[in-house]
Structure 1
Amino acid sequence: MMESKNTLIFETDVVNIASLQNYKFSVPTYQRPYVWGEEEIKKLLLDFYRSYQIEMTSSYYIGTILIKKNEGYSDLIDGQQRFTTLWLTAFVFKKLKIETQLIEFLEKESGLRIGFEIRKEIEAYLNQLLTKSEEMGSTETLKANIEELPYLENIAKGLTIIENIIKTLDKEKMTTFGDYIYTNIQMVINKAPQNIDLNKLFSTINSSGLQLEQTDIVKSKLLRNLGDHKVLFSKIWEACEDMNSFFEKNARAVFSESDWKNIDFANFYSFDPDLFKYKSFSESGNLSPKQQLSIDLILRDNDAVYEKSNSKNDSKSQEISCRSIINFGQLLLHTYRIHLKRERLLDFKGTFHVNRLIEVFDEMVVRNDNEEIKRFFYLLWDVRYVFDKFIVKWIPDANAKTEHLELINITLLSDGSYSRTPYSKSNILMLQSVLYFTSDYLRQFWLTPFLNFILDKLPSSPQDKNLLPFLEMIDNKMSTCNDMNDKEVSFLLLSDVPEFKFDIKSYLYGNKGTSFKHYWFQKLEYILWKNWEDRDDPKFKIFRITSKNSVEHIHPQSKSDTTSMNVDDFGNLVLLSVSQNSEYSDKEVNVKKEEFRNKKTYDSLKSYFIFQNNKDWTEVEVEAHKNLMVEKILEHYNYKCTV
Structure 2
Amino acid sequence: MSIDSRLFTLEQLVHQDDAAWCFNVPIYQRLYVWGDDQIKTLLTDMANAFDRGEDQFFLGGALLVEKTSEQDRLKGLRRFDLIDGQQRFTTLWMLSTVAIWNQVMGDFSRVVLKDSVVPRLHFSIREQVNTFLASMMPGKSGVSPEIPDTQSMREAQQLMASFKQTYKRADGKPVDDEYLKELASFVYRKVSLVLTQVPEGMDLNKLFEVINNRGIQLQHHEILKARLLRDIPAESRSRYAALWNACADMSGFVERNLCQDTQLEAHRLGDLYSKGQLLHAVAVHGLLSRRAEAAQAESAERLTLENIVNGVDSEFDNGYATIAADEGEAPWARSIIGFPLFLLHVLRIWLKEQGQPDLPRVLDRHLLTLFEAHLLQPAEPAQRTARAQGFIDLLWRMRVLWDEYVIKWVDQGDDEVHQICHTSISANDDKRYINRSRDNDLKQGMSLLQSMLYHSQEITTHYWLTPFL
TM-score by length of 2: 0.43
Q: RCO higher in 1 or 2 (8 Å CA, sep ≥ 6)?
A: 2
Give the strand-richer structure, 1 or 2: 2
Q: Which has the larger radius of gyration?
A: 1
TM-score by length of 1: 0.32
